[in-house]
Amino acid sequence: MSWWLAYIGLGLFAGFFAGLLGIGGGLVMVPMLAMMFAAQAVFPPNEVLHLALGTSVATILFTSISSLRTHHQHGAVLWKVVIQITPGILFGTLLGTLFASKVPAKPLALFFTAFVCLVALQLVLDLKPKASRELPGAGGVFAVGSGIGAVSALVAIGGGSLTVPFLTWCNVRVQNAIGTSAAIGFPIAIGSSLGYI
C-alpha cells in the first residue's frame, strides 16, 4: 500500500512542477520511478531504467489528451501540422524504443542525463530560435518528426522541448507552437508506449 501512495505522490509532484515550470513530467518522473523501482527490489536491476522510461511515457497518454483538448478549445492547434508530422513521429518513436531496448541501462542513463542538462541550460539561458524560415516540405517534416519522436521515446517526454523551438523557428506563433506541440504529444505517447510494451 505504501508504494501506491508513493506513486500517487510522484504523480502529484510531477504534475505540479510540469504545470508550474512548463517542463515535461518525464524529466521528473523517470529518475524518481527508477529509484522507486530499484528500492522495491522486484525488478531486474538492468531493466529498471527501461521500465521507468516506459511507465513514464505511458502517463503522457492521459496528460496529453487533457492538454490537447484545452489547446484545441482555444484554437491554438494547427491540425494540418499535426497530421503532417505524425507519420514521422510514429516512425521515430518506433526507432527510439527499438534502440532503447538494445542499449544497456548505463549509456541510456547518460543520454537521459545529458538531455536533461541541455533542457535546463536552454531554460536558464532562455535560448529561443529566431523565426527565420517556413515549415519544410513533407519530407522535411517527416525527418523532423522522426527525430523528435526518437529523442522523445529515449527520454520519455511528450516532445514539447523539441517541437516548440522547431515550430517557432519556422515562424509559427508561440501560442500555436505550444498548442500544436501538445497535440503532437499524443502520437508520441502512443508510439512510445507501444514500443516499450
**Number of folded domains that form the chain:** 1
Query: With bands split at pLDDT 50, 70 and 90, how would you rate the model's confidence at 116?
Result: confident
Q: What is the pLDDT of residue 69?
A: 87
> pLDDT higher for 129 or 111?
111
Query: With bands split at pLDDT 50, 70 and 90, how would you rate the model's confidence at 48?
Result: very high
The C-alpha R_g of the chain, in whole angstroms, comes to 16
In a domain, 1, yes or no: no
In a domain, 18, yes or no: no
Residue 20 clears pLDDT 60, i.e. is over it: no
Averaged pLDDT for residues 23-41? 85
Residue 39 clears pLDDT 60, i.e. is over it: yes
Counting residues of the chain whose pLDDT is more than 70, the rounded percentage is 95
In a domain, 22, yes or no: no
Query: With bands split at pLDDT 50, 70 and 90, how would you rate the model's confidence at 78?
Result: very high
Show the domain range for 84.
60-196
> pLDDT higher for 50 or 133?
50
Q: What is the pLDDT of residue 18?
A: 65
* Average pLDDT of every residue of the chain: 88
Residue 22 clears pLDDT 60, i.e. is over it: no
Q: What is the pLDDT of residue 14?
A: 79
In a domain, 122, yes or no: yes
In a domain, 3, yes or no: no
In a domain, 12, yes or no: no
In a domain, 33, yes or no: no
In a domain, 11, yes or no: no
Q: What is the pLDDT of residue 132?
A: 76
